[in-house]
Structure 1
Amino acid sequence: MADVEMTAASDADWVRVTSDDGYSFLVRRKVANASETMRDMLDTAGNYAEAIARVCPVQQRGVIVEKLLEYMSFKAHYADAGPRDEIPVHEFMDRIPPEIVLELLLAADYQNM
């Protein structure tokens, strides 16, 4: 019985993020909460279908959703960094292909990141 309760509790920590072209990504809820839009979707007090199913559809191509999630992971990882901590922003920036920058910027704006 304890194993079932532990499994249910750990499952709640994961969220599925889907793209328009059929890609699906599993991320920790902490990472999904880096987006205000996803945080609102996953708020259980709102009784949204996304919160119940723990699935956030993002109306973007998979490559854009992947980069959004990379940034959200980066942001969640460094959320507790102090003002004097070195945050390797260029490490993330170097992984963004120039041909998707504008589309990624618009998607990030919609996600309120």
Structure 2
Amino acid sequence: MPSKYIKLITHDKHQFIISRDSANVSQTIKAMLETSMFKESSTNKIQLEENALIMNKICEYFYYNLKYNSNNDEDGDIPEFEIPTEMALELLVASDYFNC
């Protein structure tokens, strides 16, 4: 049975332990965890090139997406996901890699 949590390790050695459900927002991470050809599927650890600052914002987005996309909010009261201007370009590149 797969673990409910996975560990994301940034290139600057910070570790983020997040729920597998939130990580599955990323199609890239989901594929790594579901395909037995990737060691990540058995270790539940993924080494990443992002730094901790960017990865923190990405993890925030995973949880935001999980909360608001799985919650069919009838009122349409979904808050805007805030992206600091100085992080916008790096987050755009990361979102392309993570396919989310």
TM-score by length of 2: 0.89
* Structure 2 spans left out of the alignment, 5+ residues: none
Alignment partner of 1:106 is 2:93: yes
- Structure in which a larger fraction of residues adopt helix: 1
The structural deviation recorded for 1:46 is 2.6
SS at match of 1:105: helix
1:13 aligns with 4
Instruction: Choose from 50, 53, 74 the match for 1:60.
Output: 50
Percent sequence identity is: 29
Higher RCO, 1 vs 2 (CA within 8 Å, ≥6 residues apart): 2
SS at match of 1:108: helix
* Structure 1 spans left out of the alignment, 5+ residues: 1-8
SS at match of 1:17: strand
Name the Cα RMSD after superposition.
1.6
1:72 aligns with 62
Deviation digits for residues 50-84 of structure 1, max 9, x if unmatched?
A: 11100122211111111111001100111222263
TM-score by length of 1: 0.80
The structure whose Rg is larger is: 1
